[in-house]
Chain A
Amino acid sequence: MAKIVIDGVTYDVNPDNNLLQECLSQGLDLPYFCWHPCMGSVGACRQCAVKQYRDADDKEGMLVMACMTPASEGSIISIEDEQAKSLRASVIESLMISHPHDCPVCEEGGECHLQDMTLMSGHNYRRYDKKKVTHNNQYLGPFINHEMNRCITCYRCVRYYDDYAGGTDLSAQASHHHVYFGRHEEGVLESEFSGNLVEVCPTGVFTDKAFSEHYTRKWDLQTAPSICTGCSVGCNITPGERYGTLRRVVNRYNSEVNGYFLCDRGRFGFEYVNNTDRLRDAVKQGGGSSEKLSTEQVATVIDEFKSASTIGFGSPRASNESNFALRCLVGEENFYAGYSDSEHEATQLIVQLAKDKAFNSPSIREIEKADAILILGEDVTNVAPRIALALRQSVRNKARELASASRIPQWQDAAVRELAQHERSPLSILSTYVSRLDDVASDKVIDTLPNLASMAFALANAISDKSPNSTSPADEYKGVIAKIAEQLQKAKRPLIIAGSTSGNLDLIKAAANIARGLNQQRSEPIDLCLLVPEVNSIGMGLLVNADNSLQAGLARLDGGSATRAIVLENDLFRRAPKTVVDNALTKAEKVLVLDQFSTATSDKADYLFPATAFSEHEATYINYEGRAQLSFQVHQCATGAMPSWRWFGEATDIESLINRCTNEAQGFDKLARLLPDKGSFIAGMKIPRQSHRYSGRTAMRANLSVHEPKQPQDDESVMSFSMEGISSQKDASLMASAWAPRWNSNQSISKFQDEVNGELKQAHPGSLLIERDIETSSYFEPSSNAESSENGLHVSLAYQIFGSDELSARSSSIQQRMTDPYIGLSPDDAEAKGFKHGDSVSLGATDSTAIVCIRTSIKPGSVVIYCGNSEINAAELPSQIEISLNEQAEVLRGIKGLIVSDLLEEEY
């Protein structure tokens, strides 16, 4: 801690930070543009000028940029100094000379950092009367609008997109006052994290295209703290609704999880909520017709299913509450997994490892601290994208270390990058195809899953000889194994990543062995990040018994020991072979399906109940770390859909259900901690979901009726569907959206952090549910790797951020980025089989087809299969497969939109 004086007041500050950051941490208003809380300083905009004095006797002082000046002990500065104020006023004046006065039609209007800073800096009259500079805009794909005339040249976009997120197709171009930020030519922004530009840009250059199409001012949106359901990371989001439709999703700061950034699946994948093909009514169906059920009839149906011969299938994309309520309805022994059997096995193993004291399940903030990383088999960018963005920060720890040694402050962003050049902390990736993180990887090994597993076991053995070795890996890997082992052992904070999506259990076991070996060499737990694919894979995994796999449940239906089935928010045809599901559901006497949409499974249902989507209910989910998070309802569902748990009649309100789950379900005893402490609310008032500026409430439905309808009551939640109430003054994680006086943009978040980049004041970053109570020193044995007798190419699965997730794939902007299923083949195999890039092929004995994609990184003898939005049933794929041309196959989207770095191209 250092003491500094700001305008005569002494503050305790962190001398490792710069003055701007510390001023903001102290809650002071100092305008800025180019600085960003997690991108450091470059000193470009000159907006944060302050006066600094040498000592108490110095009356002159000199102007400095707060962002470029360390908050060193004894610093004396003034924000209020007239010269500093005058410089800040001049800077904003010149930033604004070419800025259009199009605020009324700008998507940023009302939450624009530039607007806020313009006022804060005292610019209210434009003296500039010469010609403005104008620019052409570019088409940047389905997610982002480009309006360069609004640009104030703060360089944040390229610093975020290129430097922070590793993008390669956005750059600063031209010079002097013609500087332009765009692609080298029009085209889709390729980064999976492009959407953050919307929030990084301090004004309206990069705006949310989907939002623009049904635009609403920030203050007119009804919002609530929510959780993204796009993958297992559980990023915190703020969705906004108006007129009954969800308009957009923006980031909601959580110091431990997503920080300031989301992935594009999370930001743009919500649109399915508004789709017109959402299920609307509870129906009884059969014989090609469907009949709407009354409330009484629904109750009768549920009663029918309350029998010992009813089994339930949970869902990794449904909330804990709905899964738990189903389990209550059918009984724990009749509650079956709603994901594939291989995923069940993997998830059970992951849950077991989550209880092991040797390991730590790292949050994203912790992942960013790793200084040596090993990824085993997971395509992190496409499975848990936000973590891939975090890993790009982890590899920069080497740069931070070098900077420290040269006494360059960490916030000197450009200087730290210049010093480090291409030096990075080691990131080793063992995978079946080249990933989108390979540009920052130190070592990449591409091979078949069994070979990777064998190598991973050898690596564990190289770290600890107590860890069993496998059939010895290929000689060519011995060097790299020794190298990675050394890097992990030398690291201050090594990180091992594996998971269930690779489909290979041995990789998870080897990951555990590696981490255990490292753990035995040091005292602290080792970061072992085990990924699962869906928002609540872990939650459902905790609720389901180890023996209750999906196919075990289906077998009960097939065998007749169960006659009724309830399928919770799930399409079982994505999870098990078609014939198995078909037979089981056909044999079942009655099938009840609850879901947002009709699916192949719901087509087999006798009863089909509509379930609410993530923004329409309050719920908890458990992320890959075992972190339970509470997601509030944002808006009411306009149709007859209800949260699935409500259909079951097991509880009347969410709070009592969460309490019951806390008490009854093993492993959930900390769940109820997520519930807000109502005692802290002012005068017992609810927290409004609508801003105090929410407009048009009396008029918004006047075209239908001049009588203003009563605001809907929310009897269950601590939030109200109205402007009435008082925002939580204490718990910043309960904010409907971030706003502070003079700070209308997302930059207002610093007002709610205990310090810049710190925790939200008195907030709950989620509840880590899983107790680490197992102490063991035993290592996993590799599975017996019986020599395969099958023919054909070794199969592994590939994933795509846009397409692999079931619900987001129903969103129109996401669909514009999706491709057809493809098979990735090595050039050798493609040539041997006479396949050309783009050919359609049939996969073995299945009736699935895919498009050939020749990728140079793929190991000859293997094939990676991207199943699309389950157009290919992964559960039907054998471990080895024969592939043949199929000229009749229908091609919908093709694979042109595929962004991979190893497409076979003409060589020089």
Chain B
Amino acid sequence: MSNGDVKMSNDMIASTATRHRKLSAEEIAEIEHEMTLYPDKKAVGLEALKIVQKYQGWVSDESLLGISKYLGIPASDLEGVATFFNLVYREPVGKNVILFCDSVSCWIMGCEGIKKHIKDTLDINYGETTKDGDFTLIPVPCLGDCDRAPVMMVGPDLHRNLTPGAIDKIILDYSKSKSAE
């Protein structure tokens, strides 16, 4: 056995110790606030993932390790949780995340056509981000506004009674708000 192999194994142990991102003061402040709301830090782990995502847009490996270090929760536990839930993004997303409802009521009301329109307009499928980084399209289970289907969310905003025309306006509005910045 060569010494190279020796190094290999041991480097792999050390890998987790080196790459974490130090959490920002704002992130830490919010995490500390969550600590007051739950009696067990594991619960705060999931909250911390959401907090980090709020500031960073998504949860990178480095951020995950940063939370792991800060809270003393094993990184693999956090990964188990982060990859379980729909709203924790372990890959970078665009500036605006479109949560597109394709559940049954929206489907009956023609969401497939709306989705195709989005796809044709933005040239993205589920799980993809536009080249300019403006939009990411993600399917979401029923948004609970079935009487005004089809619906979708863009960022924090809910949009109802979607039509191709409404989509064009929405996309324009969010793209504009970017250029206005």
- Taking a contact as CB atoms under 8 Å apart, the answer to whether B74 and A142 are in contact is no
- Taking a contact as CB atoms under 8 Å apart, the answer to whether A168 and B16 are in contact is no
- Taking a contact as CB atoms under 8 Å apart, the answer to whether A908 and B22 are in contact is yes
Contact pick for A908, options B1, B13, B69, CB 8 Å: B69
B80 within 8 A of A: yes
Within 8 A of B (CB), among A131-163: 139, 141-142
Whether A171 contacts B14 in the complex (CB less than 8 A), given A142-B9, A908-B69, A908-B70, comes out as: no
B36 within 8 A of A: no
- Taking a contact as CB atoms under 8 Å apart, the answer to whether A175 and B84 are in contact is yes
Contact pick for A139, options B10, B12, B74, B84, CB 8 Å: B12
Whether A899 contacts B13 in the complex (CB less than 8 A), given A421-B40, A816-B1, comes out as: yes
Q: Which of A818, A894, A897, A903 has the most CB of B within 10 A?
A: A897
- Taking a contact as CB atoms under 8 Å apart, the answer to whether A897 and B14 are in contact is yes
A474 within 8 A of B: no
- Taking a contact as CB atoms under 8 Å apart, the answer to whether A174 and B1 are in contact is no
- Taking a contact as CB atoms under 8 Å apart, the answer to whether B77 and A168 are in contact is yes
A892 within 8 A of B: yes
Contact pick for B9, options A141, A180, A185, CB 8 Å: A141
Query: Could you tell me the distance between the alpha carbons of A180 and B70 in the complex, rounded to whole angstroms?
Result: 25
Query: Could you tell me the distance between the alpha carbons of A899 and B12 in the complex, rounded to whole angstroms?
Result: 11
Within 8 A of A (CB), among B1-36: 1, 3, 5-17, 22-23, 28
Q: Which residues of the other chain, A, contact B79 by a CB distance below 8 angstroms? A: 171, 173, 184
Q: Which residues of the other chain, B, contact A180 by a CB distance below 8 angstroms? A: 83
A701 within 8 A of B: no
Whether A184 contacts B28 in the complex (CB less than 8 A), given A168-B74, A899-B13, comes out as: no
- Taking a contact as CB atoms under 8 Å apart, the answer to whether B17 and A903 are in contact is yes
Within 8 A of B (CB), among A340-386: none
A905 within 8 A of B: yes
A819 within 8 A of B: yes
Rounded to whole Å, the gap between the CB of A308 and the closest CB of chain B is 47
Whether A896 contacts B83 in the complex (CB less than 8 A), given A171-B76, A816-B9, A908-B22, comes out as: no
- Taking a contact as CB atoms under 8 Å apart, the answer to whether A187 and B15 are in contact is yes
- Taking a contact as CB atoms under 8 Å apart, the answer to whether B17 and A184 are in contact is no
Contact pick for B76, options A170, A818, A899, CB 8 Å: A170
B44 within 8 A of A: no
Q: Which residues of the other chain, A, contact B61 by a CB distance below 8 angstroms? A: 184-185
Query: Could you tell me the distance between the alpha carbons of A816 and B76 in the complex, rounded to whole angstroms?
Result: 23
Query: Could you tell me the distance between the alpha carbons of A818 and B15 in the complex, rounded to whole angstroms?
Result: 17
Contact pick for B13, options A174, A175, A421, A897, CB 8 Å: A897
A686 within 8 A of B: no
Contact pick for A171, options B3, B69, B77, CB 8 Å: B77
- Taking a contact as CB atoms under 8 Å apart, the answer to whether A897 and B10 are in contact is yes
Query: Could you tell me the distance between the alpha carbons of A906 and B61 in the complex, rounded to whole angstroms?
Result: 18
Whether A816 contacts B84 in the complex (CB less than 8 A), given A184-B78, A908-B23, comes out as: no
Rounded to whole Å, the gap between the CB of A464 and the closest CB of chain B is 39
Whether A173 contacts B83 in the complex (CB less than 8 A), given A188-B9, A908-B28, A908-B69, comes out as: yes
B75 within 8 A of A: yes
- Taking a contact as CB atoms under 8 Å apart, the answer to whether B9 and A897 are in contact is yes
Rounded to whole Å, the gap between the CB of B53 and the closest CB of chain A is 17
- Taking a contact as CB atoms under 8 Å apart, the answer to whether B74 and A169 are in contact is yes
A190 within 8 A of B: yes
Q: Which residues of the other chain, A, contact B7 by a CB distance below 8 angstroms? A: 893-894
Query: Could you tell me the distance between the alpha carbons of A641 and B3 in the complex, rounded to whole angstroms?
Result: 30
B152 within 8 A of A: no
Within 8 A of A (CB), among B67-116: 69-70, 74-80, 83-84
Q: Which residues of the other chain, B, contact A139 by a CB distance below 8 angstroms? A: 12
Whether A894 contacts B10 in the complex (CB less than 8 A), given A174-B84, A421-B40, comes out as: yes
B151 within 8 A of A: no
Q: Which residues of the other chain, B, contact A903 by a CB distance below 8 angstroms? A: 17
Whether A185 contacts B16 in the complex (CB less than 8 A), given A171-B76, A171-B79, comes out as: yes
Query: Could you tell me the distance between the alpha carbons of A422 and B17 in the complex, rounded to whole angstroms?
Result: 26
Rounded to whole Å, the gap between the CB of A557 and the closest CB of chain B is 38
- Taking a contact as CB atoms under 8 Å apart, the answer to whether A173 and B10 are in contact is no
B64 within 8 A of A: yes
Interface SS of chain B = helix
- Taking a contact as CB atoms under 8 Å apart, the answer to whether B11 and A896 are in contact is yes
A660 within 8 A of B: no
A848 within 8 A of B: no
Q: Which residues of the other chain, B, contact A284 by a CB distance below 8 angstroms? A: none
Contact pick for B83, options A141, A175, A190, A817, CB 8 Å: A175
Please name the residue on chain A nearest to B28 by beta carbon: A908
A 483-510 to B, binary, CB cutoff 8 A, 1 in contact else 0: 0000000000000000000000000000
Rounded to whole Å, the gap between the CB of B165 and the closest CB of chain A is 35
Whether A896 contacts B74 in the complex (CB less than 8 A), given A171-B79, A173-B79, A184-B64, comes out as: no
- Taking a contact as CB atoms under 8 Å apart, the answer to whether B1 and A812 are in contact is yes
Within 8 A of B (CB), among A118-142: 139, 141-142
Rounded to whole Å, the gap between the CB of A119 and the closest CB of chain B is 33
- Taking a contact as CB atoms under 8 Å apart, the answer to whether B80 and A893 are in contact is no
- Taking a contact as CB atoms under 8 Å apart, the answer to whether A184 and B75 are in contact is yes
A873 within 8 A of B: no
A183 within 8 A of B: yes
A815 within 8 A of B: yes
Query: Could you tell me the distance between the alpha carbons of A205 and B9 in the complex, rounded to whole angstroms?
Result: 20
Query: Could you tell me the distance between the alpha carbons of A898 and B80 in the complex, rounded to whole angstroms?
Result: 25
Q: Which residues of the other chain, A, contact B8 by a CB distance below 8 angstroms? A: 816
Query: Could you tell me the distance between the alpha carbons of A180 and B5 in the complex, rounded to whole angstroms?
Result: 27
- Taking a contact as CB atoms under 8 Å apart, the answer to whether A187 and B83 are in contact is no
- Taking a contact as CB atoms under 8 Å apart, the answer to whether A173 and B84 are in contact is yes
Within 8 A of B (CB), among A846-901: 892-894, 896-899
- Taking a contact as CB atoms under 8 Å apart, the answer to whether B10 and A185 are in contact is no
Q: Which residues of the other chain, A, contact B9 by a CB distance below 8 angstroms? A: 141-142, 188, 816-817, 897
Rounded to whole Å, the gap between the CB of B25 and the closest CB of chain A is 10
Whether A892 contacts B3 in the complex (CB less than 8 A), given A184-B76, A903-B17, A908-B28, comes out as: yes
Rounded to whole Å, the gap between the CB of B92 and the closest CB of chain A is 17
Rounded to whole Å, the gap between the CB of A272 and the closest CB of chain B is 13
A524 within 8 A of B: no
Rounded to whole Å, the gap between the CB of A891 and the closest CB of chain B is 11
- Taking a contact as CB atoms under 8 Å apart, the answer to whether B17 and A905 are in contact is yes
A675 within 8 A of B: no
Rounded to whole Å, the gap between the CB of B81 and the closest CB of chain A is 9
Query: Could you tell me the distance between the alpha carbons of A183 and B13 in the complex, rounded to whole angstroms?
Result: 11
Query: Could you tell me the distance between the alpha carbons of A175 and B23 in the complex, rounded to whole angstroms?
Result: 27
A186 within 8 A of B: yes
Query: Could you tell me the distance between the alpha carbons of A908 and B68 in the complex, rounded to whole angstroms?
Result: 12
Whether A815 contacts B10 in the complex (CB less than 8 A), given A174-B84, A183-B76, A184-B64, comes out as: no
A172 within 8 A of B: yes
Rounded to whole Å, the gap between the CB of B61 and the closest CB of chain A is 7
Query: Could you tell me the distance between the alpha carbons of A896 and B61 in the complex, rounded to whole angstroms?
Result: 21
Rounded to whole Å, the gap between the CB of A440 and the closest CB of chain B is 14
A 719-753 to B, binary, CB cutoff 8 A, 1 in contact else 0: 00000000000000000000000000000000000
Q: Which residues of the other chain, B, contact A817 by a CB distance below 8 angstroms? A: 9-10
Q: Which residues of the other chain, B, contact A187 by a CB distance below 8 angstroms? A: 12-13, 15-16
Please name the residue on chain B nearest to A170 by beta carbon: B76
- Taking a contact as CB atoms under 8 Å apart, the answer to whether B13 and A816 are in contact is no
Query: Could you tell me the distance between the alpha carbons of A229 and B61 in the complex, rounded to whole angstroms?
Result: 41
Q: Which of B9, B22, B40 has the most CB of A within 10 A?
A: B9
Within 8 A of A (CB), among B36-52: 40
A 807-848 to B, binary, CB cutoff 8 A, 1 in contact else 0: 000001001111100000000000000000000000000000
- Taking a contact as CB atoms under 8 Å apart, the answer to whether B6 and A893 are in contact is yes
Please name the residue on chain B nearest to A186 by beta carbon: B12
Query: Could you tell me the distance between the alpha carbons of A836 and B160 in the complex, rounded to whole angstroms?
Result: 62
A-B contact pairs, 7 of them (CB 8 A): A141-B9, A169-B16, A173-B83, A174-B83, A185-B61, A188-B13, A893-B6
Nearest first, the 10 closest Cβ-Cβ pairs linking A and B are A897-B10, A171-B80, A168-B74, A184-B79, A171-B76, A187-B12, A816-B9, A184-B76, A184-B75, A896-B10
12 more A-B residue pairs beyond the given contacts A173-B79, A175-B84, A908-B70, with a C-beta to C-beta distance below 8 A: A141-B13, A169-B16, A173-B83, A180-B83, A183-B76, A187-B12, A187-B15, A818-B6, A894-B7, A896-B10, A896-B11, A899-B13
